[in-house]
């Protein structure tokens, strides 16, 4: 790296730290969720293979997650793989499973991001649908971070909000087993949502990238009341602090105006 490049990187990091320090002085959301959309279109626009687009998406996740953790955001949830994604081409699914297998433990390893910030990893979704090799890695990664008590990362895969709600309703019914006519309330369903049982606070902000303006069966229950929803035209691999900054400033403005 040249001297000029080193100076530029140093200045950029100092500016980033200053911005995060200023932001942290204001109200900070407790829970932010991301629909990480646009990896495939990013790959096509850069004339690279789709698996490399997903790899770039993982690197973007690391960067955005670090920003959130430096701001002391208590919980980050990311839509990593939808149940519907199993309908994609087999080679793309295999590449995504390889990425999960190779990167999950790396993310949780000694000295890496999650350990550095005391983050507990929860994989939320119907994990029984995943290949056994990925399930093994998930159990290992969750065990490696089980003592994290400063923040939570919910990795939603394979996930669908309707599946989560149905699971919560079934769990709520089972909790009152023996009652022939159980009364199931909203509070009971909420308490039995897997993401809530993982310790997640109420969802403050939901961000979707790539210009698509729909929720795609993600956290429909959690974002139905007070969640601020933001749509960004940026593909997920390109998403970073400068894209997230207006979202945080908008959140702070609305909190101050309440």
pTM above 0.75, yes or no: yes
User: What residue ranges do the domains of the chain occupy?
Assistant: 28-160+202-257
Q: What's the pLDDT tens digit per position in 59-91?
A: 999 999 999 999 999 999 999 999 999 999 999
Tokens of 27: 């109200």
Choosing among 3.40.1180.10, 1.10.3210.10, 3.90.1720.10, 1.20.1260.10, the CATH entry for 28-160+202-257 is: 3.40.1180.10
Using a CB cutoff of 8 Å and minimum separation of 24, what contacts does 64-69 make? 64/34, 64/239, 64/240, 64/241, 64/244, 65/113, 65/153, 66/113, 67/20, 67/240, 67/241, 67/244, 68/32, 69/113, 69/117, 69/119, 69/151
Q: What's the pLDDT tens digit per position in 162-213?
A: 999 999 999 998 888 777 777 889 999 999 999 998 899 999 999 999 999 9
Q: What's the pLDDT tens digit per position in 32-62?
A: 999 999 999 999 999 999 999 999 999 999 9
User: Using CA atoms, how far apart are residues 3 and 251, in angstroms rounded to an integer?
Assistant: 38
Of 226, 216, 230, residue with least CA distance to 30: 226
Tokens of 204: 């403050």
- Residue 1: per-residue pLDDT: 56
Main-chain phi, psi angles of 32, to 5 degrees: -125, 135
Tokens of 131: 């290949």
């Amino acid at each position: 790296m040249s001297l000029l490049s080193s100076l530029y990187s140093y200045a950029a990091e100092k500016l980033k730290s200053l911005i995060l320090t200023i932001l942290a002085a204001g109200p900070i959301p407790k829970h932010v969720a991301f629909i990480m959309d646009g990896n495939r279109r990013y790959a096509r626009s850069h004339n690279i293979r789709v698996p490399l687009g997903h790899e770039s998406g993982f690197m973007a996740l690391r960067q955005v997650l670090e920003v959130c953790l430096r701001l002391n955001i208590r919980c980050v949830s990311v839509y990593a793989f939808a149940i519907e994604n199993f309908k994609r081409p087999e080679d793309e699914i295999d590449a995504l499973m390889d990425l999960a297998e190779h990167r999950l433990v790396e993310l949780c390893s000694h000295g890496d991001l999650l350990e550095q910030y005391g983050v507990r990893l929860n994989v939320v979704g119907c994990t029984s649908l995943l290949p056994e090799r990925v399930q093994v890695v998930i159990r290992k990664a969750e065990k490696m971070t089980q003592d994290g008590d400063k923040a939570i990362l919910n990795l939603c895969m394979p996930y669908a909000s309707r599946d989560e709600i149905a699971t919560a309703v079934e769990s709520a019914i089972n909790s009152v087993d023996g009652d022939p006519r159980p009364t199931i309330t909203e509070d009971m369903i909420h308490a039995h949502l897997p993401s809530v049982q993982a310790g997640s606070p109420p969802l403050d902000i939901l961000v979707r990238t790539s210009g698509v303006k729909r929720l795609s069966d993600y956290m429909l229950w959690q974002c139905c009341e007070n969640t601020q929803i933001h749509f960004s035209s940026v593909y997920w691999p390109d998403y970073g602090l400068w894209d997230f900054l207006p979202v945080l400033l908008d959140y702070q403005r609305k909190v101050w105006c309440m």
